[in-house]
Structure formats: C-alpha cells, structure tokens
Amino acid sequence: MKIFGYDDKKAAILMLQVHKQGRSIVWNGQREKAEFYVQQLQSHQLKSSLEKAE
C-alpha cells in the first residue's frame, strides 16, 4: 500500500494471491520504474523479482 499507493481492497487482493498462489503481479510498466519498485520492496524485507512480460 505504501509503495504503490494501493487502497485496502487492492492490497488485500494482492496479498491473497501471494498467499494462495505463491506470487502476484503487483505492477507492470517501464523497466527503470520497475527496478525502483523492486528496490523499494526489498528494502522493506519483501521478496520481489523483476520479470519480462510475455
């Protein structure tokens, strides 16, 4: 919520995807901004990765 500015409902949906499926796509867009988001998530001790869209 803090990094992406998502509301409670969106954050809950993403959290449940991770809980049930083991992963969730939380954002997609330009590579440079994605790299920034990955760094922000990792600084909060959250496991994150950057993958190219198919």
What's the burial of 34, exposed, middle or buried (CB within 10 Å: 0-12/13-18/19+)? middle
Q: What's the whole-number mean pLDDT along residues 6-10?
A: 95
Q: Is the pLDDT of residue 1 over 90?
A: no
Is the pLDDT assigned to residue 54 strictly greater than 90?
A: no
- CB distance 27 to 4 below 8 Å: yes
Cα–Cα distance between 10 and 15 in angstroms, integer? 9
pTM for the full predicted model: 0.76
